[in-house]
Amino acid sequence: MSAPITQSAPKVTPSTLRIAGATDVPSRVVSPPRKRVLFIPASIRSHVVPTLFVAGLLAAEYDVFYAVTNSVLATIVSENGFTPVLNRALWVNFGMESQYLESQGRSAGFWPVVRAVWTNEIYWQRKLELDALLDQVKPAVVIIDIFSSADFLVLYRYRSTVQLLFCNPMLSTYRVSNFPIVSEASWFSAPPPVNQPARFNSRNVLRNPGAAVLEVAVRHQTAKLTQLAGLTAEHQLVDTVFSRLVTNVPELVLAPLEFELSPEVKKPNQHYLGLCIRDTRIDTELDAAFEQRWPEILARHHAGQRLVYCSFGTFYTGSDRALLTFIATLLEAIGTVPDTQLVCSVNGLVVETLQAMYAALPNVYFFRRVPQLLVLERADAHITHGGLGSVKESIRHGVPMLVYPLDIHYDQPGNGLKIEHYGLGLRGDFEWERPATLRTKLLRLLEDPAFRASIARFRQTCAVRYPDEKVSEVLRTLLTVAAP
């Protein structure tokens, strides 16, 4: 277990947060001065949370700062002992010109957007903001989420004084040989064809002149970005599934290599760090009702009732009909499984709907957000969307998983494939699952010891190969080499 972090941080309030470009950030009086590390995560809770493990290890030698885009993420960072600095969600070469122009009260019509793309207007704005941010924080190290990878181009000129790294909260996003990529849920008998960049076709001008003009502008923008960044021959742009990365830049993969379908997918610049779970993590925005009902749930568990935990992360934010339909299916299935209780964590609108519909069920509990590590420590099975954070936490606590991927465009389908491949759980179809098949799968997870045995072996492998001391040494080595 990681040692508790003693680094303090101010309580986040609107008055303590500053937009990048302000002249002050919360600071500490320390002697001698400590180096600083700055995380630039994607504006997603599931991308911030796993970095807290790395931040906790680095805190022994660095003061840790996070550039976050909203108060929710800032609170997560602050409550866990680090310093948030509020920064805009503005990404270069990401098609954000329309939103950017609208945020400034300017016209976001076709030609203003094309002009903003052609002139790389967001690049220059982002450069001002990141220059101000680095002037504020003065970091020795900047760790950039792969979803924010274009910031590397903006910061490239700092490489002689600031160590720049990528951070990946998923599995590898490269395609290697005939192995399924991170978002694919099945194997291929032969490698799929490599997508070549589409060549400009003059006939497209007649078919869709607007799209053709914008395509030319985007191509110009990408070429100009490389020129503006001044990338050397050692560092060239390379497109992966979800991002544009740069060759020969260290990439911290916040997962165990053993969860990939083969170690062959690992690139030389990738460094797998294991489960990356901070056991002392403080969760935020918890449902107050959970603390009141948890003793009752534990009492039932001690009396012999099995505990099934169901959570779909932050994918659904509203009272979606598909989610309500699935939960109705789940409740029908659970009702036929003896000596079993269900803890379900979903968003507030869904909770209100479910409590009105199923208030009389004695063995079912609905909460808005729960301390997931605490629940998984007692759970007998985990019904999940397959986000890598939830998968790793289930492995950490030895809980078999029943995976229902919700977002087919990202890593959930691929994670489900790997869970089944390694015998850590089963998969289902969120939209088409029926009570009888769900019940059959759930009973297999609860009663077949092979699943728990597989997870126990996998967890032990991770414990042996990724102890905190070894991960700290990997980080120390990476952060003491010459800057790229």
* Joined tokens for residue 220: 């110009």
Non-local (6+) Cβ contacts of 403 within 8 A are: 384, 385, 386, 391, 412, 415, 416, 419, 420, 425, 426, 427, 428
Q: What is the pLDDT of residue 324?
A: 80
- Give the tens place of pLDDT for each residue, 236-286: 888 888 888 999 999 999 999 999 999 999 999 999 999 999 999 999 999
Domains of the chain: 35-274+466-478 (3.40.50.2000), 288-464 (3.40.50.2000)
pLDDT of residue 18: 53
Q: Among candidates 82, 50, 85, which has minimal Cα distance to 69?
A: 85
pLDDT tens track, the chain, 484 positions: 333 333 333 344 433 335 433 445 555 554 578 999 999 999 989 999 999 999 999 999 999 999 999 999 999 999 999 999 998 888 888 888 888 889 889 998 989 888 988 999 989 999 999 999 999 999 999 999 999 999 999 999 999 999 999 999 999 999 988 899 899 988 865 555 555 555 555 555 556 677 888 888 888 888 888 888 888 889 988 888 888 899 999 999 999 999 999 999 999 999 999 999 999 999 999 999 999 999 999 999 999 999 999 998 655 554 567 778 888 899 889 989 999 999 998 876 666 776 667 666 788 898 989 999 999 999 999 999 999 999 999 999 999 999 998 877 889 999 999 999 999 999 998 888 899 999 999 999 999 999 999 999 999 999 999 999 999 999 999 998 644 5
pLDDT at 220: 87
**pLDDT at position 6:** 34
Question: Are the C-beta atoms of 423 and 401 separated by less than 8 Å?
Answer: no
Cis bond upstream, residue 32 (ω within 30): yes
Question: How many whole angstroms separate alpha carbon 443 and alpha carbon 462?
Answer: 27
Output the pLDDT for position 191: 54
Please give the structure tokens belonging to residue 445: 């997870």
Residues 49, 76: contact at Cβ < 8 Å? yes
CA distance 344 to 300: 16
Task: Name residue 19's beta-bridge partners.
Answer: 86
Paired tokens of 294: 């948890």
User: What percent helix, strand, coil does the chain show, rounded to 5?
Assistant: 40, 15, 45
Find out whether 149 and 243 touch, Cβ atoms under 8 Å. yes
Query: How confident is the model at residue 317, as a pLDDT?
Result: 52
Q: What is the pLDDT of residue 435?
A: 93
What pLDDT is attached to residue 8?
A: 36
Quote the pLDDT of residue 7: 36
Residue in this structure with the two tokens 């990141």, named with its chain if needed: 130
Other C-beta atoms within 10 Å of 472: how many? Answer: 18
SS3 306: strand
- Cα 43 to Cα 40, 71, 86, 154, 424: the distances in Å are 9, 11, 11, 18, 30
Q: Is the dihedral of CA 320, 326, 327, 328 positive or negative?
A: positive
Which of 16, 464, 400, 36 has the alpha carbon at shortest distance from 257?
Answer: 464
The span from the first CA to the last CA of the chain, in angstroms, equals 33
